[in-house]
Amino acid sequence: MENNLIHLTIDGVAVEAVPGSTILQAASAAGINIPTLCYLKHLTPDASCRMCVVEVEGRRGLPASCTEEVREGMAVQTHTEKTAQARRFILDLLLSNHCTDCFTCPQNGACRLQDYCWEYGVEHTSYQGKRVDAPKDVSSPFFNYDPNLCIMCRKCERTCESLQCRETISIQGRGFDTKMTIPFGRRWKDSSCEGCGNCVAACPTGALTAKGAKKFRPWEVKRVRTTCPHCAVGCQYDLLVKENRIVGVDAAPGSPTNEGLLCVKGRFGSYQFVHSGDRLRHPLIKENGAFRRASWDEALDLVASRMKGIQEQYGRDSVGGFSCSRATNEDNYAFQKLMRAGLGTNNVDNCARVCHSASVHGLATTLGSGAMTNPMADITEDVDVILLVGSNPTEAHPVMGARIRRAVRRGTKLIVVDPRKIDLTEGCALHLQIKPGTNVAFANGMLNVILSEGLEDRDFIQNRTEGFEALREIVAEYTPERVGEICHIDPDGLRAAARMYAAARKAPIIYCLGVTEHSTGTEGVMALSNLAMAVGKLGRSGCGVNPLRGQNNVQGACDMGALPYQYPGYQKVTDPAVREKFEKAWGLPLSPNDGLTSTEMLALSARGERIHGLFIFGEDPMVSDPDTAHVRRALENLDFLVVDELFMTETAQLADVVLPGVSYAEKEGTFTNTERRQMRVRKAVSLEGEMRQDYDIFAEVETRLGHPCRYESAAAIYDEIASLTPSFGGLSHARLDAGEDLAWPCPAKDHPGTPILHVGKFARGLGWFYPARYRPSAELPDGDYPLMMVTGRMLYHYNTRAMTGRAEGICQVVNESYIEISSRDAAALGVAHGDRVKVSSRRGELETTARVGDKVGDGEVFMTFHFPDGNVNKVTNAVTDDIAHIPEYKVCAVRVSKLG
């Protein structure tokens, strides 16, 4: 065949298909529907249900179309008397063991079995078999299992095993008693299940159903395609809306980010907060220490006049703003414009400061762009080695984490560099359990081995980089033995890792906060980019330096210029030509000076210096910033604090004015995921109350500051962004709504977007080897505070818990703080698993519960900052890195003692 395609007919229609595809695939591509029960798109067919049988001319029997490959000249009939008969027989058999009381089934109307029985006229079973009435398992906080409705299609088992890679489900028993179960007779809640619900979504019947599903029937809901508001994977899903209330979510099947999968937070924890009774519903003004309800005019006038008053007294740069990485690009653009055009200051920042600012600064310095270089699919499919540094993706980016689990299963070698045992250390090729805060030494040690063994890519170094000689001199000092001592690892482990990474054809570096949140965070990032450049693993598929961004739209908040040194698109505020462009567009003179970072603003205000007014949009630094006492001092020292929030957070409680904004489910706009992909956010509900679009709030304040501003729509703001930002020039809501999949840079309307950065040439021109030297963390354990505290996250809760803390199922799994401690340290302190302990540092103290085990190394402890009953930020250190001003959340010294 000239075009190498196979030609066949299906139901008389001429169809072309690629060789090797099945009849089912060819039919579905041609829009011809064949019934299936056990077929799962991304997995090898199970071919057990036989609903998909077809007739093929000249062939005896009825082959299953989900396994039968297409052949040249084949003539297929999908709906004949014979296939109908076969399907009726199967349905009859399935019903023999299946409850037919559809009225009470939660899946009524969304059940394939019911649909097919209707289609094929099967109302009753003709079998008088034994009906087993098995007990239901309702122990999962998220879904129920009714074995009596199971048709043994094994979709759940295969989804869990092959896509989620959890193996929670197994098939047991024989004949009529065969059922899907949890191994060892466990109940769901005691199994390895992590609640992603992907099995529930795959189940074609009412056997597995989400809790609360009885509240609606499928035909009653409106579906609104949007983007998960938690992590920067950016999963696409439909919000299911009944009578202006979100009642569930369904993963979008075709989305390139999540391919129909979700994690527990997206599926079961991303919409309950929207309808929470404690949403802020009208503006509040604090008077004599108490909040009172205010009108919008009153509140907005007060914000503008107080901010102006402060500037008249202390100067233009005495005010600042923190923007919200949970909100849309459009909101973030409007916020930085309020700060720059309305207030005339570049003191604007976002939570990237405390997260990946080290990546933004570090990679921009060495490569020319601070973003993830390659898409998620590209660095998990068909790669030989993954070097995972300080990243816990199965908890923090779970749909990406599952991709890595699948890659490992297919044979990718995984090197985990993390002081703790994380889920992915199971099955990894190497776990380098480095001492927290020693990433630079680790990366230099890797380079030392690579150079001394001649594993570098000389052509790449020669043609595409500069600064190599200076770095070579430095890394010569980092012999495996010396690095082994600094990092507390086996030098041979380091050698093995270096060889594995360097020799691989395709090997991405994937990293996260274990690298950035240090007083040497930016150098840690640059040391990793040195490593990738030295072996030429940049600017091509399956490689790169890939910071997994955290918040759903933290990439976007940075892209939109919610940063003190840059306008949208990383255009420098100190560049006169850039400033002139924005002055012309916005119609007024703008500040030529770099602004202050959020961490600098808080530090100054804590000392009573320079910063007197703050506008905080959707951040809760009282919970999330390090050293809570210091944050409290900073916020209390302000003359004026305004907070735009969904809830009365701890930060909002300290405000003079609180403005109620709206959540992702109540707005139009876009998020930019970790891959720089533009993801649409769409309005699903409008709630009762006086809440306003966040961008509208900013426009109103800006107008009251004397710079009239009004936005027609989120789409219009996106157009304004495109007109001022070369890397966004070709983007529009219309293109996204038409189904285009676009990652920036996308400079023109006909540009297809840029999935992989630095191909052929670095954004900087030549890549720069940064001469990074190891420096120890700012506060190390000593006699008074002998343990090293590492902080981070866990699967079920998200940051300050503003959203996940309002989802009942999630809170049932875990809702209290804990500290992980090694068995040896616990024994030395006389602490047993489950004991209450006091944790103290030079900054403060808290009480929590000990989890004793082997997850953390000796001398180290771990806590999350999710839980109000024991927030680790009371003890963390507010010291920052000098380049990006990112706090050292990952290392501080603490003492743990047993209570009671």
Ligand X SMILES: Nc1nc2c(c(=O)[nH]1)N[C@H]1C(S)=C(S)[C@@H](COP(=O)(O)OP(=O)(O)OC[C@H]3O[C@@H](n4cnc5c(=O)[nH]c(N)nc54)[C@H](O)[C@@H]3O)O[C@H]1N2
- Residues in a beta bridge with 894: 787
Q: Which is nearer to ligand SF4, 160 or 354 (CB)?
A: 160
| Listed residue (440, 394, 390, 450) closest to 415, CA to CA | 390
Site membership for ligand X, residue 120 (CB under 6 A): no
> By the 8 A CB rule, do 578 and 585 touch?
no
Tell me the C-alpha distance between 331 and 672, whole Å.
13
Residue where the block lists tokens 């065969």: 178
Which partner, ligand SF4, ligand X, ligand FES, none, binds residue 357 by CB below 5 to 8 Å per kind? Answer: none
Q: Which is nearer to ligand SF4, 401 or 569 (CB)?
A: 401
Dihedral in degrees, nearest 10, Cα atoms 676, 759, 412, 514: -50
Start-to-end Cα distance in the chain: 81
Alpha-helix runs per DSSP H in 638-741: 650-653, 694-704, 714-724, 733-737
> By the 8 A CB rule, do 203 and 156 touch?
yes
Spell 596-622 as b/e; 16+ CB within 10 A means b.
bbbbbbbbbbbeeebbbbbbbbbbbbb
Give least dist CB 283 to ligand SF4, A. 31
Q: Which two tokens stand for residue 606?
A: 């804590």
Q: Which two tokens stand for residue 844?
A: 């403060």
Which partner, Mo ion, ligand X, ligand SF4, none, binds residue 205 by CB below 5 to 8 Å per kind? Answer: ligand SF4
- Over 367-421, what HEC string results? CCCCCCCCCCCCCCCCCCEEEEECCCHHHHCHHHHHHHHHHHHHCCEEEEECCCC
User: Could you say which of 357, 555, 624, 817 contacts ligand X (CB under 6 A)?
Assistant: 624
Site membership for ligand SF4, residue 231 (CB under 6 A): yes
> By the 8 A CB rule, do 796 and 398 touch?
no
Site membership for ligand SF4, residue 234 (CB under 6 A): yes
Site membership for ligand SF4, residue 166 (CB under 6 A): yes
Tell me the C-alpha distance between 298 and 283, whole Å.
9
Q: What angle do CA 895, 899, 900 make, to 5 degrees?
A: 155
Q: Which two tokens stand for residue 854?
A: 């082997």
Site membership for ligand SF4, residue 155 (CB under 6 A): yes
| Listed residue (32, 34, 39, 36) closest to 14, CA to CA | 32
User: Could you say which of 380, 439, 678, 817 contacts ligand X (CB under 6 A)?
Assistant: 439
For residue 743, the tally of other CB atoms under 10 A from its CB is 21
| Listed residue (250, 182, 188) closest to 213, CA to CA | 250
Tell me the C-alpha distance between 145 and 135, whole Å.
9
Tell me the C-alpha distance between 613 and 636, whole Å.
11
Site membership for ligand SF4, residue 150 (CB under 6 A): yes
> By the 8 A CB rule, do 237 and 257 touch?
no
3-state SS, residue 659: strand
Q: Which is nearer to ligand X, 216 or 695 (CB)?
A: 695
Site membership for ligand SF4, residue 208 (CB under 6 A): yes
For residue 60, the tally of other CB atoms under 10 A from its CB is 6
Q: Which is nearer to ligand SF4, 325 or 346 (CB)?
A: 325
Q: Which is nearer to ligand FES, 50 or 340 (CB)?
A: 50
Site membership for ligand SF4, residue 646 (CB under 6 A): no
Residues 599-618 that bind ligand X (CB under 6 A): 617-618
User: Could you say which of 87, 265, 518, 851 contacts ligand SF4 (CB under 6 A)?
Assistant: 265
Tell me the C-alpha distance between 174 and 205, whole Å.
20
Nearest residue (beta carbon) to ligand X: 550
Residue where the block lists tokens 């540092």: 841
Give least dist CB 209 to ligand FES, A. 21
Alpha-helix runs per DSSP H in 644-759: 650-653, 694-704, 714-724, 733-737
Give least dist CB 512 to Mo ion, A. 9
Which partner, ligand X, ligand SF4, ligand FES, none, binds residue 66 by CB below 5 to 8 Å per kind? Answer: ligand FES
Site membership for Mo ion, residue 616 (CB under 5 A): no
Q: Is the peptide bond before 419 cis (omega within 30 degrees of 0)?
A: no
Site membership for ligand SF4, residue 193 (CB under 6 A): yes
Q: In what helix (H) or strand (E) does residue 313 lie, and over which residues does it extend?
A: helix 296-314
Q: Which is nearer to Mo ion, 539 or 550 (CB)?
A: 550
Site membership for ligand SF4, residue 207 (CB under 6 A): yes
Tell me the C-alpha distance between 173 and 177, whole Å.
5
* Window of 163-171, 303-311, 569-577, 583-591 that interacts with ligand SF4 by CB under 6 A: 163-171
User: Could you say which of 876, 877, 878, 893 contacts ligand X (CB under 6 A)?
Assistant: 876
Q: Binding mask 309-328 vs ligand X (x if CB under 6 A, - otherwise)? A: ---------------x-xx-
Which partner, ligand X, ligand SF4, ligand FES, none, binds residue 355 by CB below 5 to 8 Å per kind? Answer: ligand X
Which partner, ligand SF4, Mo ion, ligand FES, none, binds residue 535 by CB below 5 to 8 Å per kind? Answer: none
Number of amino acids touching Mo ion (CB under 5 A): 2
Site membership for ligand X, residue 788 (CB under 6 A): no
Q: Which is nearer to ligand FES, 37 or 715 (CB)?
A: 37
User: Could you say which of 802, 811, 826, 837 contacts ligand X (CB under 6 A)?
Assistant: 802
User: Could you say which of 396, 414, 486, 742 contacts ligand X (CB under 6 A)?
Assistant: 396
Helix axes 521-534, 357-366, angle to 10 degrees: 40
Q: Are strands 613-617 and 640-645 parallel, antiparallel or unpaired?
A: parallel
282: left (phi over 0), alpha (psi -120 to 50) or beta: beta
Q: Which is nearer to ligand X, 50 or 851 (CB)?
A: 851
Give least dist CB 202 to ligand FES, A. 13
Residues of this chain that interact with ligand FES (CB under 6 A) are: 36-39, 45, 47-52, 64, 66
Which partner, ligand SF4, ligand X, Mo ion, none, binds residue 851 by CB below 5 to 8 Å per kind? Answer: none
Give least dist CB 690 to ligand X, A. 14
Nearest residue (beta carbon) to Mo ion: 550
Give least dist CB 163 to ligand SF4, A. 8
Residues 347-386 that bind Mo ion (CB under 5 A): 355
Q: Binding mask 543-562 vs ligand X (x if CB under 6 A, - otherwise)? A: -------xx-----------
User: Could you say which of 68, 194, 259, 696 contacts ligand SF4 (CB under 6 A)?
Assistant: 194
| Listed residue (217, 199, 207) closest to 109, CA to CA | 217
Site membership for ligand X, residue 647 (CB under 6 A): yes
Number of amino acids touching ligand SF4 (CB under 6 A): 40
User: Could you say which of 266, 320, 568, 626 contacts ligand SF4 (CB under 6 A)?
Assistant: 266
* Window of 161-169, 302-310, 648-656, 658-666 that interacts with ligand SF4 by CB under 6 A: 161-169
Q: What angle do CA 885, 889, 890 make, to 5 degrees?
A: 120
Give least dist CB 432 to ligand X, A. 8
Q: Are strands 767-768 and 465-466 parallel, antiparallel or unpaired?
A: parallel
Q: Which is nearer to Mo ion, 383 or 557 (CB)?
A: 557
Residue where the block lists tokens 């299940």: 193
3-state SS, residue 444: helix
User: Could you say which of 550, 556, 564, 753 contacts Mo ion (CB under 5 A)?
Assistant: 550
The residues of the shown chain that bind ligand X, judged by CB under 6 A, are 231, 324, 326-327, 351, 354-355, 389-392, 395-397, 417-420, 422, 434, 436-437, 439, 512-514, 517, 550-551, 617-620, 624, 644-647, 649, 661, 663-664, 694, 790-793, 795, 797-800, 802, 865, 872-873, 876, 889-890
The residues of the shown chain that bind ligand SF4, judged by CB under 6 A, are 150-156, 159-160, 164, 166, 168-169, 180, 193-199, 202-203, 205, 207-208, 228, 230-231, 233-235, 258, 262-263, 265-266, 397-399
The residues of the shown chain that bind Mo ion, judged by CB under 5 A, are 355, 550
